[in-house]
Chain A
Amino acid sequence: MIFDNILIYFVIVPLLTLLGLALCNNKGVAAIRAVAVTGATALVALAVYLVMIFLQVRGAGDTSEMILQSNVTWYAPLNIELALGVDGVSVVMILLSAFIVFTGVFASWKINPLPKQFFLWLFLLSTGVFGFFISVDLFAMFMFYEVALIPMYLLIGIWGSGSKNYSAMKLTLMLMGGSAFLMLALIGIYFHSAPEGQPLTMNLLEIAKNNAVPHEWQLYLFPMAFVGFGVLGAMFPFHTWSPDGHASAPTAVSMLHAGVLMKLGGYGCFRIAIYLMPFAANEIGWIFLTLTGISIVYGAFSACVQTDLKYINAYSSVSHCGMVLFAILMFNQTAMTGAVLQMLSHGLMTALFFALIGMIYGRTHTRDIREMGGMMQIMPYLGVGYVIAGLASLGLPGLSGFVAEMTIFFGSFENADMFRRVLTIAGASSIVITAVYILRVVGKLLFGEVQNEHHRELTDASWDERVATAILIVCVATIGCFPNFFVNIITDSFVPVVDALKNAM
């Protein structure tokens, strides 16, 4: 039975929350919040429990590629299954998503108008996210992927600010455009998933085992799949939806989007594009490596000249997410482990950033750093939070960013060829640029002079905001201080991918 598998509950719990929300009265805000918090708490509990199970199974010496596998036939004529399974990477991604959803609920505690509908879409989005991470069937993954994308349109369109119509449409069409290419790639992979004469399959573990996609097909399908996911991973030049989308989105949506949704891109790139088509990855991976290298530097430079707090972080996201794809394309275990650490780190610290920005904006009603200053005196709690997030972002040891970037650049430099080493050096230079734009904002926004006398009357964080930020800060520090815990979970998962890449050379 599929219901014996704990993984399926990552989809069922959000769906039940959706149902509960649907039954709530539109006016009963307390009930709506209660249902949302219950659902989010249940997800965190499930995620923590999953990590414990994972450690237990691995501790017992089980080295199979995926644990907790179960298959149920769905569409037999096309060999579509509801196939579940997780490895170390999916486990930490699930953990991350659960925490971001949890804090996202608190960050949107006072959302107005239509709180019920807001949480409905939020949980539909998280259904898609969790479904994507627990599935190993191409069709199911793709379906959940799109389920996670479309709520963004309404979340930004209805609750957003600024030029929200434009941003929401741009974001939706660009992401859906990427997934159109992705869909064709998946169909192409499906029809070449098994050697001649054997039944086709949608299960990605079996496709990887068969390794039957012909080389000439890989050369066409790999770019489609990589670009499909790369759009979501904000890869240059397909990143333009990201700054606009983030700037217009409400706080919780920015958090979820940067913290979780963009991770689907990186995860999909390595799980589907690279793992299933290692030959093409070796052959033409350098094109995308160059593009991601540009993303890292370009994103950082763009962030330097922005004055809107959200745009600064959106461009810094482009840079940091570029680093994820960059590390994945380095094709060795260390760099790929760094990529996942970076996903975790970026997810948490960007969520923290956007939460803080949302809270500051909610008080000052401006996000322009030229109109603000001296926030440290006025709201010390939020100010300290912002400094911590900033330091994590520029890679201070002891916080998550340092660990991730360190691992990535060490891993990248392990590659012996000149091309990759040069790119690594170029990529590493972004750390300096990051320091520039982070310190500029911190100096101006927190320690500068108070620009507007009305700002002196503003209050510091309320309890729900403290919960959200405190959890995120603790998480960021935990990764920074105990990276080995996560590295141990993650790193073995890359063995099959790296092996596949080596064999395809």
Chain B
Amino acid sequence: MDYSQFLQMPQEVGLLLVFLLVFIYDTFMPQRSQRALPVFTTVLFAIYTALCFVPCQCVNACEAGSLFGGMFEVNAATWAMKNILNVGVLLVLLQAGNWTNSDFMSVRRGEFYELLLLTLFGMFLMVSARHFLLFIIGLESASLPIAALAAFEKNRYESHEAAAKYVFTAIFSSAIFLLGVSFVYGIAGSLYFNDIASSLIGEQSALLIAAVAFVIAGVGFKLSLVPFHQWTADVYQGAPTAVTAYLSVISKGAAAFSFLVILAQVFGAAYSTVWEWMLYAVIILTITIGNLFAMRQRNLKRFLAFSSISQAGYVMLGVIAVNTLGMASMMYYILVYIFSNLAAFGVIAAIERQTGKTTTDDYNGLFKTNPWLSFTMMLAMFSLGGIPPFAGFFSKFFIFVGACHTGSVAIYVLVLIALINTIISLYYYLLVVKAMFIRQDDCVIPAIKSSCGERAGMILCALGIILIGLVSCIYVGLTEATESVSEIFALI
């Protein structure tokens, strides 16, 4: 075996290195220095994230290529996607530092970070996989440890409930996905994406339709698309907030990207005949139902769970677009969504940790006592609602433009439905703003003292929300990256 090919996957190797260092620190350092583990991990991961950005420019020249006999592919788009995930994980780590340092976490602090990094590794495999076997390995290692993470607060009943619900859904959805893949194998006789794609041309059998439906259902569970979303709210509410944040942005981002690659590259030939309409219906349901349920939620974590369901529907607009512009818009949307959602979760986590309050009504009059937290939360809500000049507006506009680029009238109708839904979503995002800025309350949440890590995380999120839209280079870079992988849309 040629070991030099590992050099072609520096992001994965770097991540494993970080993982190993954290593992060694956790295992061999004395008890008194264990409290520094969060800082150690965060700094190490920050350095790793920064280093990953360096060769981004020359990735086309020297790094692109496939390895392990074509099972694993590195290109500009996967590179950019992994960087986006890295940034998100860094923000999660910053925000989680205070929680993992609390007393009841003392013996399991290391496990949290190790499991988190391992799931990230699994997602990297999903993003880069060009063979279903490798993809499923990635999928499993990305989802099963999250169940353990969700159960982390073992004194809380809800945490167990969340973990149980998550683990059942994860297994069930994997089984459905595997069934779909086995159908595909039955048709094509191969598990390589490229081989399957070429043997599916002209294929119209019922088996193919079933296979695509099962694959969409399997990934749909991970992305919590309607009608596969039932587990989301309970898991989001029960899991520790840091884990919920991770679950809602990072794993969703990775799943969405690989979903696009599978649908476009593997089932590209069946786009208009089989899955365009399936996805069309799923998007409408996801956006609308997510929105309608979010309106009624009083618990902010449940509220964000339903809001994230509907946001996943918007992300899928980038998938149904099946062009490079849509792909770039989708990655951009995920990036913006990471910043906006993590800003919201950062505020929720900070307040929950000190007061235990998580409902909208608890936030009444928050602006008086915690102006900065309220400001961050407002930015997050405006960005999620798509209000300029914040990043969410740009990402929404771009994803709509990406979808309309297909030129079909049906997609215009879909975008119109999505646009009307943004107004509904604006209503409930404004409810949170209203609670913080307009409503008054006698028992306002007292001034919260947040830690350095939390503060840094929230400042980064706020800066991201303000700047990502106004600075055009990120989106331009993403379009260039997706231009270079335009061959995945060859069969559309």
Chain A positions within 8 Å of B, measured between CB atoms, are: 74-78, 139, 143-144, 146-147, 150, 153-154, 157-158, 164-165, 168-169, 172-173, 176-177, 180-181, 183-184, 187-188, 190-191
Contacts and interface: CB of A to CB of B under 8 A. Distances in A.
B416 A154 contact: no
B389 A143 contact: yes
Given A75-B472, A173-B427, A157 B401 contact: no
Contact of B401 (A76, A78, A153, A181): A78
B200 interface: no
Contact of B437 (A146, A154, A173, A188): A154
B388 interface: yes
B423 A77 contact: no
Given A146-B393, A188-B404, 11 more contacts: A75-B476, A77-B475, A77-B476, A146-B387, A169-B427, A169-B430, A172-B430, A173-B427, A180-B423, A183-B400, A190-B401
A67 B389 CA distance: 26
Contact of A187 (B415, B422, B437, B438): B415
A147 B393 CA distance: 10
A77 B479 contact: yes
A180 B419 contact: yes
Contacts of B426: 172-173, 176
A153 B430 contact: yes
Interface residues of B, number: 32
Nearest to A180: B419
Which among A153, A164, A173 has the greatest number of chain B C-beta atoms within 10 A?
A153
Contacts of A177: 420, 423
A164 B427 CA distance: 15
Contacts of B407: 191
A157 B387 contact: no
Contacts of A176: 422-423, 426
A157 B433 CA distance: 10
Contacts of A76: 472, 476
Given A75-B476, A77-B476, A173 B387 contact: no
B412 interface: yes
Given A158-B438, A188-B412, A181 B419 contact: yes
A378 B313 CA distance: 61
Contacts of A169: 427, 430, 434
Interface of B: 325, 328, 382, 387-389, 393, 397-398, 400-401, 404-405, 407, 412, 415-416, 419-420, 422-423, 426-427, 430, 433-434, 437-438, 472, 475-476, 479
A183 B328 contact: no
Contacts of B404: 187-188, 191
A88 B389 CA distance: 27
B374 to A, nearest CB: 11
A86 B465 CA distance: 31
Contacts of B398: 78
Nearest to B378: A154
B328 A154 contact: no
A427 to B, nearest CB: 32
B76 to A, nearest CB: 15
Given A74-B472, A143-B393, A191-B404, A173 B423 contact: yes
Which among B416, B419, B427, B476 has the greatest number of chain A C-beta atoms within 10 A?
B419
A191 B388 contact: no
A172 B429 CA distance: 12
Given A146-B393, A157-B438, A173-B423, A77 B325 contact: yes
Nearest to B438: A157
Which among A76, A78, A158, A181 has the greatest number of chain B C-beta atoms within 10 A?
A78
Contact of B416 (A77, A172, A184): A184
B400 to A, nearest CB: 6
Contact of A139 (B325, B397, B419, B422): B397
10 contacts: A77-B328, A146-B387, A154-B437, A157-B437, A157-B438, A169-B434, A172-B430, A180-B420, A184-B416, A191-B405
Contacts of B388: 143-144, 146-147
B326 to A, nearest CB: 12
Contacts of B479: 77
A157 B401 CA distance: 33
Contacts of B422: 176, 180
A190 B472 CA distance: 19
B402 to A, nearest CB: 9
Contacts of B420: 177, 180
A144 B328 CA distance: 24
A181 B423 CA distance: 11
B295 to A, nearest CB: 12
Nearest to B421: A180
A448 B476 CA distance: 67
A4 to B, nearest CB: 21
B37 to A, nearest CB: 38
Contacts of A183: 397, 400, 419
Contacts of A165: 434, 438
